[in-house]
Amino acid sequence: MKIAFVSDIHSNIEAFSVALDIIKSRLVDKIMSCGDIVGYGPDPEEAITLFEENGIVGVRGNHDAGTVGDSILYEFNEYAKLALLYTKRNISKRSENFLKSLPTLIEEDTFTIFHGTPNPKNPFKYILSEFDVLEAFSYLKTPIGFYGHTHVPCVCKLLSKNSLEVYPMQKEAKFILEKGFRYLINVGSVGQPRDGNPKGAFVIFDTDEYSVEFVRFDYDIEKVYNKIIERNLPSYLGERLFSGL
């Protein structure tokens, strides 16, 4: 079976549409999401609609949660807050209810999906350090965890209780997993990459080959930038797309 994992679409319908076209051409069996369908970008309603139309199963990200509740707005920077307020004004009640329905964690037999960490009490914490990685592994009940949130694709391999290897994945690459080891896999961002590579990113997990393939793709950044300006969102949210930072 092949499963595509997307994350951090962030209302970028141009990038999301290209990603879906590539995914469909690869004949995957299922598409799953690690959160943040909305936030930052100009097309939240369209992104949610496309997400639902493609039968994607996913978890709630912090921007999804921020859109449907005011209680965590204080945790966002000013750019993110402005984008969230824009998102709140530009989604339907149906889409709002859909975001509310998303869980913060999905656990399958061999893998778990979450946005920030698998800690149910702190699902939107960032995994940024070796300590964060080891802490996340302590909550993970399956051999593999797929996540997003930092927008930086990588593979973290647990060697022992306090020892791990981290493999950054800035370019297209296939990573062969090994039975008996545990992994945390950041699938990168479809709509707002932050690893210095402006190309969108997602992952295809081949359960038979036991591998993860990191896919990068071009999309019309200029079009997204123009929409951001036209809709009076902060210009920085469009400018950063060109550099992938």
Tell me the per-residue pLDDT of 25-45, one tens digit each, with 9 for 90 and over: 999 999 999 999 999 999 999
Q: Please, what is the angle between helix 44-53 and helix 93-101, to 10°?
A: 60
Cβ-Cβ contacts under 8 Å for 223 (sequence gap 6 or more): 14
The SS3 assignment for 208 reads coil
The SS3 assignment for 139 reads helix
Question: Is residue 191 in some structural domain?
Answer: yes
Domain count, the chain: 1
**Cβ density class 191-203: b for 16+ within 10 Å, e for less:** bbbbbebbbbbbb
Question: Is residue 211 in some structural domain?
Answer: yes
Q: Check residue 39 and report its DSSP letter.
A: S
Question: Is residue 245 in some structural domain?
Answer: no
Mean pLDDT of 147-151: 97
Mean pLDDT score across all residues of the chain: 95
Query: How many angstroms separate the CA atoms of 199 and 5, rounded?
Result: 16
Q: Give the per-residue pLDDT at 72.
A: 64
For residue 107, the enclosing domain spans 2-229
The residues that bridge with 13 in the sheet, in sequence order, are none
Query: How many angstroms separate the CA atoms of 118 and 131, rounded?
Result: 14
Question: Is residue 9 in some structural domain?
Answer: yes
Q: Give the per-residue pLDDT at 170.
A: 86
- 29's tokens: 């069996």
Distances 117 to 49, 60, 61, 113, 128 between C-alpha atoms, Å:
26, 12, 11, 9, 11
Q: Give the per-residue pLDDT at 129.
A: 93
> Among residues of the chain, what percentage have pLDDT more than 70?
98
Q: Give the per-residue pLDDT at 162.
A: 82
Query: How many angstroms separate the CA atoms of 14 and 16, rounded?
Result: 6
Q: With the C-alpha atoms ordered 135, 138, 139, 145, is the resulting torsion angle positive or negative?
A: positive
Q: Check residue 190 and report its DSSP letter.
A: S
pTM for this one?
0.95
CATH number at 91 reads 3.60.21.10
Mean pLDDT of 119-136: 94
Q: Which tens digits make up the pLDDT trace of 94-124? A: 999 999 999 999 999 999 999 999 999 999 9
Question: Is residue 244 in some structural domain?
Answer: no
Question: Is residue 235 in some structural domain?
Answer: no
Question: Is residue 214 in some structural domain?
Answer: yes
Distances 56 to 170, 236, 239, 245 between C-alpha atoms, Å:
25, 29, 29, 27
Q: Which tens digits make up the pLDDT trace of 165-223? A: 999 998 999 999 999 999 999 999 999 999 999 999 999 999 999 999 999 999 999 99
Answer whether residue 161 shows pLDDT above 70.
Answer: yes
Distances 48 to 27, 45, 194, 195, 212 between C-alpha atoms, Å:
22, 5, 22, 25, 26
Closest CA to 185 of 173, 196, 197: 173
Answer whether residue 71 shows pLDDT above 90.
Answer: no
Residue 73 pLDDT class (50, 70, 90 cuts): low
Please indicate whether residue 1 or residue 71 has the higher confidence score (pLDDT): 1
